[in-house]
Amino acid sequence: MASYDSPGLTYDSGVLYDDIAPPQPTKRMPKIKVKLDLKSKSDSDLVTFAQAHVTATTGNANFTTLLPPATAFATTLTGYQTALGNFNTAQVAAKQATTVKDTARLALESVLTQRGHYVELTAANAADPAAVIESAGFSVRATAAAPQVPDPVQNLSVTAGDNAGELDFQWDPANGASSYDVHVSPDPVTAASWVPQKGVTKSKTAVTGYPSGAKMWARVRAIGPGGTGAWSDMATKIVP
């Protein structure tokens, strides 16, 4: 039986096997991608980009059968240009309309303010001013509550300071307080023995300069917009 490498064998066409060149390996085409970056372009930049593409491909021998065809592409481009022009016109009109609206609002606010003053003056001498104001379709402004007198200071404690002759004072913050009065008295306490210290804004302070071994008393009160609170209970400590 004849084999492929037997001499003298031919194809059906009569061509010798040995006369046919072996097939050549197929050359792989390089992968290449078009860079568009369409999402990063502004509206006007997108139009410019599309127009540049039309110019570059018109009469370009590399692209004789463009997809989509030139006519369809031009129609789409023209449609976007028209829509963009309408949008820009609407934007300008919207800004102008906003300015007109804001001016009209200020005018309305002005006449309403004038009416509010008139209604206030009219209601001032009425038996029920609130009812008169509400009858005009307006609301009555709530009266600001008067500031409350600060609460009494609680849990005053006196401890030995870090240095000789020093006492540390600490207490709980009082509601309504913006500052505190601190008084110190030697023992025994009398109405005239209290010595005011420098006012503080925090709920602690320290005093120095007392003789070691002396028994001292302290009291604190809170001060706020609503007035002066009551004195705390007295606390005492032997000066270190």
Secondary structure of the chain as H, E, C letters = CCCCCCCCCECCCCCEHHHCCCCCCCCCCCCCCCCCCHHHCCHHHHHHHHHHHHHHHCCCCCCCCCCCCHHHHHHHHHHHHHHHHHHHHHHHHHHHHHHHHHHHHHHHHHHHHHHHHHHHHHHHCCCCHHHHHHHCCCCCCCCCCCCCCCCCCCCCEEEECCCCCCEEEECCCCCCCCEEEEEEEECCCCCCCCEECCCECCCEEEECCCCCCCEEEEEEEEEECCEECCCCCCEEEECC
Q: What is the pLDDT of residue 75?
A: 97
Q: What is the pLDDT of residue 163?
A: 87
Q: What is the pLDDT of residue 10?
A: 56
pTM of the model: 0.47
Q: What is the pLDDT of residue 145?
A: 83
Mean pLDDT, rounded, of the chain: 90
CA contacts within 13 A on the Cβ side of 175: 4
Pair 189, 202: CB distance under 8 Å: no
User: How do residues 59-82 score in pLDDT, each as one tens digit?
Assistant: 999 999 999 999 999 999 999 999
pLDDT exceeds 60 at position 17: no
User: How do residues 136-165 score in pLDDT, each as one tens digit?
Assistant: 999 998 888 888 999 999 999 999 988 889
Ordered structural domains, the chain, with CATH = 41-143 (no CATH), 157-238 (2.60.40.10)
pLDDT exceeds 60 at position 16: no
User: How do residues 158-202 score in pLDDT, each as one tens digit?
Assistant: 999 888 899 999 999 999 999 999 999 999 999 999 999 999 999
* Across 111-115, average pLDDT: 95
Q: What is the pLDDT of residue 12?
A: 60
Q: What is the pLDDT of residue 142?
A: 86
Which of 21-30, 100-109, 147-156, 205-214 is predicted least confidently? Answer: 21-30
Q: What is the pLDDT of residue 135?
A: 95
* Across 4-33, average pLDDT: 62
Buried b / exposed e over 149-159, threshold 16 CB at 10 Å, is bbbebeebebe
Q: What percentage of the chain reaches a pLDDT higher than 90? A: 79
Q: What is the pLDDT of residue 30?
A: 73
pLDDT exceeds 60 at position 108: yes
Q: What is the pLDDT of residue 146?
A: 85
